[in-house]
Amino acid sequence: PFPAPRRAVATLAAVAGRAHHDPRWFADGRRVLVWRDEPAPDGRLRPELLVWDTRTGALARVTRGAGVREGDPSPDGRWAAATRCARGTCALVRVDLATGAVEPLAGGALAEVWRRPRVDPDGRRLVATVQRAGRWRPVLVPLD
């Protein structure tokens, strides 16, 4: 009456006691985008994006000092939508996965919080949740 137990395709262990969060597969079915808290020069921990190659086990850091999390890769694997929280605001951002460059897409105001972006399979828009006036709502964001 129950489905068969799932089997792990690959396992990514914590590094220096810091776990990896919100795994999102790339379209190639090989790489996974994750985030983990990384030490900043002042000793605080900041979330940063990393790409994990499940075949080789390589883990490559994408961002440095960007404070981004919840990344979702685009269909072509060249960029990701993510959230960046700083100074009491959480904005929606686009991250170039080759350079780690971050550009704002939406938000950044104290009165709204953006979370969980997901890129459309065609890469022309994304959906994310935003909290405004105490209510969470899904929002479609065009990328053109």
Would the pTM count as exceeding 0.75? Answer: yes
Asked whether the predicted pLDDT for residue 31 surpasses 80, the reply is yes
Each residue's pLDDT tens digit, 113-123: 999 999 999 99
Each residue's pLDDT tens digit, 74-121: 999 999 999 998 888 889 999 999 999 999 999 878 888 999 999 999
E-state strands within the chain: 21-25, 31-39, 45-53, 59-61, 68-73, 79-86, 89-96, 102-106, 112-119, 125-132, 135-142
